[in-house]
Amino acid sequence: MKRLLIDEQNKTQAITEAVKVLRNGGLIVFPTETAYGVGALATNSEAVTKLLQYKERPVGKAISVAVADRETAERYVEINNEADQLFKQFLPGPLTVVCNSKHYADTRLESEKATLGIRIPDFDFTLKLLKELKEGISATSANRAGKKTPYSIEDILANNPARKTEMLDLILDYGELPKRPTSTVIDTTTLDMQVIRSGAISFDTPIIEKEITSYEEMIDLGTSFTKENIKGKAESLIIISFNAELGAGKTQFMKGVALALGINETIKSPTYSLLNEYDTHDGLKLIHIDTWRMASVAELEEVLQESYFAHRNIIAIEWAGAAEEMIREKTQQAIKNGVKVIRFNVEILYTNKDTRRIKIVKSHE
């Protein structure tokens, strides 16, 4: 395994070396706008075999392909009218567009329905790499199944046994990436386009979109949001996922949520405890999670009880992207058990030093 720390001076060299490794059937770790991915040349059967062994992923569970542009994508998939509009509007960007495969890539990357997801990452270094390669590579996160979403190389190495790390031929280390949600996955092959996985891009109309200029306003917003959207929904499991940087006001928002629920305890971000639990007077339970310092998903699994994924519970997750896969799996299991799930995605962006723009989108899982 070779690890390259990418800087302005060695970008061209790193791209040349990565292309060589890929063409020789090797695996690379590469940065994207959502997380670090693990890449294998999509048309190389030996490389795909190695990828599947690394990910421990069964055949039939699809892996998308990252390409540099639409022209390259057309070698891999059939782009219908719906997909065409998504390509024009959102790509490059954190969106995976599922289309009918042309079977140009190794078919083990396809779904059981012979569809294939296509990604055009919005990350300049990786786009240049893909343009130089002139082919597609696998676009799956570099973590193994059930492990922490990798925003740094340390996230990968700390959660890999040595035998897995040794399978990686080249690591392109771009430093710590922003903790953003995973890509949204949308299937364009169905009668009505279907969102398979919610992520960075939402196709739902925001229920709230406004600017906030003080922490007091953020608390007030958390209170009004809860009164309007959570109170009275006691028979559902409520999940609130945050996409926001440090200091954006996530904990202040949660203080407002707690006030509306009648919780008298002081709300603090569970940065070190990972999870705090609060009971309300009317029998609801608030589970407040912060994955910022989480080293592995196993840490969260130790404290995140199965009973939390049930009616009358509210799960709020700061830095939700780091545990997205595990949360999604537990949510899907709850749905199978008859639990109605309502999810709110809360995005808080800095617009200037004193102003935040907050957007809240509601979705039914």
We report the CATH number of the domain holding residue 69 as 3.90.870.10
Note whether 190 and 249 are same-domain residues. Answer: no
Note whether 25 and 110 are same-domain residues. Answer: yes
Q: What CATH code is carried by the domain that includes residue 234?
A: 3.40.50.300
Note whether 121 and 156 are same-domain residues. Answer: yes
Q: What is the pLDDT of residue 140?
A: 94
**Residue 144 forms part of a structural domain:** yes
pLDDT tens readout for residues 134-150: 999 999 999 876 677 89
How far is the C-alpha of 249 from the C-alpha of 125, rounded, in Å?
31
Q: What is the pLDDT of residue 145?
A: 66
Tell me how many domains the chain contains.
Answer: 2
What's at 191, amino acid-wise? L
**Residue 202 forms part of a structural domain:** no
**Residue 179 forms part of a structural domain:** yes
Note whether 44 and 127 are same-domain residues. Answer: yes
Among 162, 197, 232, residue at a domain's last position? 197
**Residue 307 forms part of a structural domain:** yes
For 16, 191, 239, 282, 340, the CA distances from 232, given in Å and listed in that order, are 58, 34, 15, 11, 14
Q: What is the pLDDT of residue 186?
A: 93
Q: What is the pLDDT of residue 159?
A: 85
Contact (CB, 8 A) for 38 and 131: no
pLDDT tens readout for residues 7-31: 999 999 999 999 999 999 999 999 9
Note whether 190 and 221 are same-domain residues. Answer: no
For 209, 220, 233, the CA distances from 223, given in Å and listed in that order, are 15, 5, 15
Note whether 125 and 254 are same-domain residues. Answer: no
Q: What is the pLDDT of residue 234?
A: 66
Among 176, 197, 218, residue at a domain's last position? 197
Note whether 232 and 149 are same-domain residues. Answer: no
Structure pTM? 0.73
For 106, 111, 137, 229, the CA distances from 121, given in Å and listed in that order, are 21, 21, 11, 34
Note whether 234 and 118 are same-domain residues. Answer: no
Q: What is the pLDDT of residue 347?
A: 87
Note whether 122 and 25 are same-domain residues. Answer: yes
Q: What is the pLDDT of residue 144?
A: 74
Least confident of 33-47, 105-119, 171-185: 171-185
How far is the C-alpha of 72 from the C-alpha of 101, rounded, in Å?
13
Q: Is the pLDDT reported for residue 43 higher than 90?
A: yes
**Residue 136 forms part of a structural domain:** yes
Question: Average of pLDDT values for 262-273?
Answer: 89
Position with higher pLDDT, 365 vs 80: 80
**Residue 203 forms part of a structural domain:** no
Q: What is the pLDDT of residue 322?
A: 76
Q: CA 224, 225, 228, 232 torsion: positive or negative?
A: negative
Q: What is the pLDDT of residue 323?
A: 81
Q: What is the pLDDT of residue 107?
A: 96
Note whether 178 and 323 are same-domain residues. Answer: no
How far is the C-alpha of 121 from the C-alpha of 312, rounded, in Å?
39
What percent of the chain shows pLDDT beyond 70?
98
Among 151, 178, 197, residue at a domain's last position? 197
What percent of the chain shows pLDDT beyond 90?
67
Q: Is the pLDDT reported for residue 339 higher than 80?
A: yes
3-state SS, residue 279: strand
pLDDT tens readout for residues 279-332: 988 888 999 999 888 877 778 888 889 899 999 999 999 988 778 778 888 998
pLDDT tens readout for residues 72-96: 999 999 999 999 999 999 999 999 9
Note whether 120 and 227 are same-domain residues. Answer: no
Note whether 10 and 83 are same-domain residues. Answer: yes
Q: Is the pLDDT reported for residue 238 higher than 90?
A: yes
Range of the domain at 284: 208-364
